[in-house]
């Protein structure tokens, strides 16, 4: 028996030799902690630091002024709070407000340098940055959709399709709903598009899309559907770290993202999905939505392929960003818009935050729709151009589909 204890112990230490040595941040500090009163405490051990701050989207935003190419504009940046040093060099900040149930990202700034929370191993990558994750889930609140529950789960697959446009295989994330594999039924398909700097992983990591889908479908609020998360950067095979560039540092804006190539190439994705999966391969059973750049892609896909999608969702859409002369995809906008509505789409859904820098562009677009008597559904939320809003929009949009 002694031998067994010894071996078990050595097994533990052996396997975890590196983990234990490296135990991230060291023991004894808990962060973040959701307190009983709904506030959240953040802690960071740094005995030699002069200043420790926390920033993240759980804090009220603050206006930041920027100058770019001689133009001045401002945007909403996450707030910043100072931590106060306590015993043992452990800095601490507790919110003076109840942190509403939601999924948040945050980082510390230690004497100006940004670092993730060393006591929280849950991180999201956003372009070339890591952020720590805080999930405040509460039954009955929307954020409960972002949590994993013991409900039937869909299958989430990383699937490669041959892109004739790109000249190489490219990766998609594909969600097939619980029951798909056992069924012989055909399913409708929703295509979900990311924003600039994103990829086929973004909606799954930051967007909690597969949790939202599992939960909405399990409760009967949404129909079972296949969901395809595309990679909108045609020059890229797959998300950073998942392509043949290896562990190169990702860059924000890639070529061929907003100059028409993605939209031109889109039918090859639809063809691939209809060929591989049991889809209902017709307009009434096809939807598309996307955030920011993906909202722009959504609009252009809807207008250029009026027979492809019955449902379109524009989330904080980057309307009016690209030069309309750079691609046939962006030309003849008004004529295409008229043709699109003549095709009687089941739903054009628009969501935008009140402080989004794209708010006015979206309002202008809706005015054009109103002036022409074109029908759409609009949801306006607080806040700006952030994931918090895009998760809300997805969870509002999905239940409306294929009904």
Euclidean distance between CA atoms 350 and 32, whole angstroms? 35
Q: How far is CA 38 from CA 117, 171, 283, in A?
A: 20, 40, 46
Interface residues for a second copy in 354-373 (CB under 8 A)?
A: 356-358, 361
Span of 62-70, 215-223, 228-236, 336-344 interacting with a second copy by CB under 8 A: 62-70
Shortest Å distance, C-beta 403 to a second copy: 26
Is residue 1 part of the contact set for a second copy (CB under 8 A)?
yes
Shortest Å distance, C-beta 363 to a second copy: 14
Question: Which of 215, 231, 292, 327 forms a contact with a second copy (CB under 8 A)?
Answer: 292
Q: Are 298 and 288 in contact (CB under 8 A)?
A: yes
Is residue 396 part of the contact set for a second copy (CB under 8 A)?
no
Shortest Å distance, C-beta 286 to a second copy: 21
Q: Are 138 and 89 in contact (CB under 8 A)?
A: no
CA atoms within 13 A on the CB side of 195: 17
Angle, helices 209-218 vs 387-397, to 10°: value is 30
* CB nearer a second copy, residue 14 or residue 86: 14
Is residue 185 part of the contact set for a second copy (CB under 8 A)?
no
Please, what is the Cα angle at 176 between 171 and 179, to 5 degrees? 155
Shortest Å distance, C-beta 307 to a second copy: 27
Question: Which of 11, 98, 185, 335 forms a contact with a second copy (CB under 8 A)?
Answer: 11
Is residue 281 part of the contact set for a second copy (CB under 8 A)?
no
Interface residues for a second copy in 247-276 (CB under 8 A)?
A: 247, 249-250, 252-253, 258, 276
Is residue 178 part of the contact set for a second copy (CB under 8 A)?
yes
Euclidean distance between CA atoms 395 and 174, whole angstroms? 18
* CB nearer a second copy, residue 107 or residue 312: 107
Q: Does the bond joining 32 to the residue before it have cis omega, within 30 degrees of 0?
A: yes
Is residue 14 part of the contact set for a second copy (CB under 8 A)?
yes
Place of tokens 């952020």: 131
Interface residues for a second copy in 93-122 (CB under 8 A)?
A: 105, 107, 111-116, 118, 120-122
Interface residues for a second copy in 119-158 (CB under 8 A)?
A: 120-123, 125-131, 133-135, 137, 147-150, 152-153, 155-158
- Measured in whole angstroms, the distance separating CA 44 from the mean position of its chain's CA atoms is 27
Number of residues that bind a second copy (CB under 8 A): 116
Residue 232's CB: how many other CB atoms inside 10 A? 27
Interface residues for a second copy in 16-55 (CB under 8 A)?
A: 16-19, 21-26, 45-50, 55
Euclidean distance between CA atoms 243 and 237, whole angstroms? 6
Residue 335 neighbours by CB under 8 Å, 6+ apart? none
Residue 98 neighbours by CB under 8 Å, 6+ apart? 37, 38, 39
Shortest Å distance, C-beta 1 to a second copy: 7
Enter the DSSP assignment of 142: G
Question: Which of 33, 77, 369, 379 forms a contact with a second copy (CB under 8 A)?
Answer: 77
């Amino acid at each position: 028996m002694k031998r067994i204890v010894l071996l078990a112990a050595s097994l533990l230490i052996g396997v975890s030799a590196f983990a234990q040595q490296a135990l991230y941040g060291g023991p004894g500090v808990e962060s973040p902690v959701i307190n009983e009163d709904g506030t959240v405490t953040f802690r960071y051990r740094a005995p030699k630091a002069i200043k420790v701050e926390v920033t993240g989207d759980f804090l009220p935003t603050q206006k930041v002024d920027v100058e770019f190419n001689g133009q001045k504009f401002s945007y909403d940046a996450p707030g910043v709070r100072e931590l106060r040093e306590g015993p043992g060099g452990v800095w601490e900040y507790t919110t003076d407000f109840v942190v509403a149930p939601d999924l948040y990202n945050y980082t510390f700034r230690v004497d100006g340098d940004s670092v993730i929370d060393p006591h929280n191993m849950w991180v999201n990558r956003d372009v070339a940055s890591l952020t720590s994750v805080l999930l405040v889930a509460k039954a009955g609140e929307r954020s409960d959709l972002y949590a994993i529950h013991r409900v039937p789960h869909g299958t989430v697959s990383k699937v490669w399709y041959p892109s004739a446009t790109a000249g190489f295989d490219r990766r998609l994330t594909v969600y097939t709903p619980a029951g798909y594999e056992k069924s012989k039924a055909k399913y409708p398909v929703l295509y979900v598009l990311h924003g600039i700097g994103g990829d086929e992983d973004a909606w799954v990591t930051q967007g909690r899309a597969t949790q939202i889908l599992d939960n909405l479908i399990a409760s009967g609020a949404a129909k079972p559907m296949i969901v395809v998360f595309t990679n909108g950067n045609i020059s890229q095979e797959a998300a950073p770290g998942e392509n043949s560039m290896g562990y190169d540092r990702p860059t924000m804006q890639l070529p061929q993202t907003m100059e028409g190539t993605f939209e031109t190439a889109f039918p090859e994705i639809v063809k691939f999905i209809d060929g591989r999966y049991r889809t209902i391969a017709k307009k009434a059973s096809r939807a598309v939505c996307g955030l920011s750049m993906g909202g722009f892609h959504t609009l252009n896909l809807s207008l250029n392929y009026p027979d492809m999608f019955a449902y379109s969702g524009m989330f904080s859409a980057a309307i009016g960003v690209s030069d309309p002369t750079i691609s046939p995809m962006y030309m003849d906008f008004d004529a295409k818009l008229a043709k699109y509505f003549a095709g009687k789409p089941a739903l054009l859904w628009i969501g935008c935050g009140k402080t989004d820098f794209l708010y006015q562009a979206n309002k202008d677009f809706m005015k054009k729709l109103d002036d022409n008597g074109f029908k759409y559904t609009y949801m306006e939320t607080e806040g700006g151009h952030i994931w918090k809003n895009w998760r809300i929009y997805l969870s509002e949009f999905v239940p409306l589909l294929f009904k």
